[in-house]
Structure 1
Amino acid sequence: MKTWLLILVFCMLAASVQSQLRQDSLLLVLKSMKDDESKVLLLIKIGQEFEKSDLEKAKSYYLLARALGNRINYPLTEVKFVSNYTFALNMQGKIDSSLYWNLKGIEAARKLNDDEQLAKAYFNTGTSYQYLSDYPLAVEVYQKGLKLFEKIGDKVFMAQAYDILQNLYSSMKQYDKARDFGKAAVATFRQLNNPKMLAYSLTNLGTVYGSINQKDSAQRYFKEAEQIAGEIEDEVLLSTVQLNLGDVYLWKKQLSESKKYSESALALAVENELPETETIALRSISYCYMYTGDCDSAFQYAERALAVSQKYKFPKQTILNLNQLASLAYLSKDVWKAEKYEIQAKELQDTLWNEQLLLNTINTEKKFELDKKSAQLAIQHEKINRQHLINWLLMIGLLSLITISALGYRNYSHRKRMQEQRIKELETEKQLLATQSLLQGQEDERSRLAKDLHDGLGGMLSGVKLELGAMKGNLILTEENGALFNNALQKLDRSISEMRRVAHNMMPEALINLGLQQAMQDYCDSIGSSGTFIVKTEFHGLEQRLSATTEVNIYRIVQELVNNAIKHSKAKEILVQVMLHERSLSITVEDDGTGFDSEKQSYTSNGLQNIRSRVNYLRGRMDIKSQSGRGTSILVECIIEDNV
């Protein structure tokens, strides 16, 4: 669902920007004030006035407030400084610095013995961890803050805490917990009669229900949020809610309603200068036109959406817009243009993935350095304690000085060697753990990207296919138009297959979860389910699992061979045989298509090169037999050496 999760940044004293007259007025008052607690609070207030116009100036006033507060011993100085200063750091994207100060804020709040200030400090720290994508630590500190808010019975902060936890668990895709916290937030804001915060919580809760495909519940919450947003004249929130409603109606195939809400959201986005909402609304309208068969209008809106996302540098939205344009190009039978858009989307996706990988690597290195510093500190404490012990022993008496010194020195040397050896072992273990964490992060990210691609674009293309299939049954077409219609359906099938292929290239989950034989059977069944091809399969000896790398390569070879038969041979029937006897593996893919002259045609296509690369990796050989008009037979043989 194309929406924003409205995360409430828990810097409790941050205020919105005011007019220049208001800033000048506060600065004038500042000149006449004495150095007391009121002046500290005024300096913080002035900093808040500059937060959205000049963040560096805002930070300078927070630092002045801190210096004055420490000079006059104002107890709340540190917690007030941290909550406001970290808000500015978050706005600047300096999340590491924000986390550093928020941890200090927790220490300052503990010294005050003030549960409310400590709870706020926990939530500020949780926000930093959430921005760093360290969700386990974010959950831990948020839960600590929530317990304190519940202890003191402050329902305003409790409701905000529930909403924050709703968004966090939704980001972690733990939708059951997100839903429970969302309901608690909505109920508490109703009780508090706070319409604005209620509308935000309703929007977030509707998003959670939309994520688990409970569209009726999502629609109900979005409708209520829309009514409240209209009453309080919050056009930013209203545009978001209407965008969500447009998605709900699009999912329900109520295209006129979806288009109406998307157009309303677009108008509000343009009026309030909300470029991300604008590009999403344009793409939603493009979907509506696409489903009604107006490809020209769909193209126009999709191209406008792409222009906005590229202008304001929204990479994720740009990828979605490029994929939409590729789908429209396929529907318009412009395969070259579709492939161009797909290549652009893939290149941008790879760039994002590399950036995320770099970020994960940096975070892992920082965690490792922090652990290393902690170990060094522990060693220093141990040395100090050991020295105290030696000094105490030396005080026993001069008579036993030589004996005690000798024993102490030998004991000291032995323990030092043991500790140095242990430190080296711990450092080696931590390096291994850091490497494992990095590799696991890479695999998790690939799995997430594959799932998002499959669930997002795959769902859209499948919806288009169902719509076209339903239209075909209700339309009377000439033979020529019927052939064109069927051709469009075939191209859509190929688009879906291509999307699945991309997702499987990232992380073939079916192969990992179900095994090689079942994954290949499912793939062949999916090809044959369209009715365009008859795919026969024979699998023998694949009950025992092979290594993950070997299974992936075998699966990809079969997948690429079948894809080549579908794309190039015009075959009606395809035979797939995979047999494993002891360590000898043979793969045969035959089709009854047009074939080609294997004596004259070279095999330099990307598909065959990819297959040859995988066959070479398995130390195997590939034999191609084909004649024009008599189909093609491809045999791959190799010896499997690594099984689990």
Structure 2
Amino acid sequence: MNRKTASLVLAIALVNGISAQQPAGSDSSIAHAKKILLQTRMRKDTLGSLIPLRDLGIAFYLAKQYDSAILYFKEGLNLAISRRQYYLELHDFRPVLNNNFFLLGNYTAAMEISVDGLARAEALNNPERIAHFKGVIGYILMKQGKLVAAKQYFIDFLKLATGLHNKLLEAKGLFYLADLSILEKNYANAISYIHKAMTVFDDPKTVLSINKNEQLAYANNKLAEVYAQMNDLPHSLQYSLTAIRISEQNIQWINRYDMARYYVNGGTTYNRLKQYQQALSLLRKGLSISKEPMYMECIQDADEQLSIAFASLRNYDSAYAYHLRFTQVRDNIMAENNQRVLLEKETRYKMEAQQRLQDAALNRQKLWKDLSICIACASILIAWLLYKWYSLRQRNHFQAALNMQQQENLRATISAADRERKRIADDLHDTLGSLLSATKLKLSAIEETGTMPGQEKEDLKEVLALLDEAMQEMKNIAYNIMPATLSRLGVIAALQSLFNRISHQSVIHINYTTYGFTERLHETVELGIYQVVLEAMNNIVKHAHARNGTVQLVRYERHINITIEDDGRGFDALRENTVGNGLNNMQSRTKNMRGTIDIDSQPGMGTTIIIEIPYT
């Protein structure tokens, strides 16, 4: 029986008068508990049966009849749950059932009891019981080797204990973490946790429900065990002797099992230090205490260490006697453990069989439920996708129609503008140009007659000069609107004329080449190409400050490629605010011809424009 089991069960038994009236686990105590239970049942006092059921379970537990103890504890637990006696459920029945399952090594059943208890405590918002069951679950996980998960439960336990201002629970959480650190072989952390627990007990403001010295003795013994595992025997012995001294000074408060363990641990350390006389003294005291309630594990360890001590002192008769008894106790413990293992296996088999049936039923229910949810979710998803697809299709269709309409409107606008430009250019050239030419002829004829006075003749010369200037400007305007060369000779010749005029009027040299233009293009295509190139050349002349430019037109089977380059100052083509009206006009006209335009430019690196226009 471990320390936790012994102290808890004996405390419950003492409260209810079992161990005070009869020897623990005796037939008379079982008979007495059965008699009380029978009386309550005869009175049909269902609620009154709770305490007798608990007492009878404890009596069977102390008699080591664990199957009967579990039977009555379970009956009491179910009754407490049905009658909503949550205090008895959470404080009595679930803890004692856990102790039975721990003793049998049935951690699966203990986990089930604790998980259900945690859920009940959380539903009742009982922080103290939440902490209790989190600690138990962490302890089970630690025993199963699941150290990471166990650590999280212990940390939660410690946080709850701190929030409750319960120093006893806080120290218990630190001991949990110390045990975990020992298993991880992180002895430094284990020592740190134990010392923190000891400071809790040393605090003069700490008020505990049990004697502080009992916990301090336990902490010192735990430190002794840690240092023993570290092979630091002097420190281990120091803490063992401190635990023994505290327990001897507070013997009325110290658990007998703990006191026996302190003496045996101290004697074991003396043996390892080869101080055999001191070891014999402590081991005999530990053995004497262990025999009173028959702490078999302590007796086994004490006999083994006494055998070692006597053998080292060459007292072979005593060594043999203790060794013989050690083997007998060990065999008895092994037999009892084997019996426990068999009982555990049988219990586990029954529980697993029942669990498999329950799991199968739950899986079927879960499968149908999941299937229904999946079908519903799939239906909703399909409906949503169909709606989104239809909406997207309608939106795309509308957008395509809108784009097409915008393109048609743009083409119509540009075509109308081009026709109007051509009409204005023709009117300027044919009508206004003819009138200006006729006017000049008339005025020139008047000048040639020589009948005008000198001053009037000078004024007439000025008028003729102004008229010449107006005619030239009219020609320039008409040429920019729609050059006559474009209509008569085509875009190749019109562009050559444009580049000649630019080179004549500025310092820019234009290198112009064409390939594949053996015949003229459609009028609208030629006009579009001319306007795009004209916009590009205007940008070069006005903004680029270039010295040289290159224009290349190549006619392929299905498209025309136009490349325009200059060595000017360039601009940041990636920034939208750097694109002016000229480039926007180029892009609009290219788009109107269903073409593409690519502008590559960087400050100080010049500009390259590549345009591709399809045609059939």
Q: For this structure pair, what is the TM-score category when the shorter chain's length is used for normalisation?
A: 0.3 to 0.5
Provide TM-score, normalisation by structure 2. Answer: 0.47
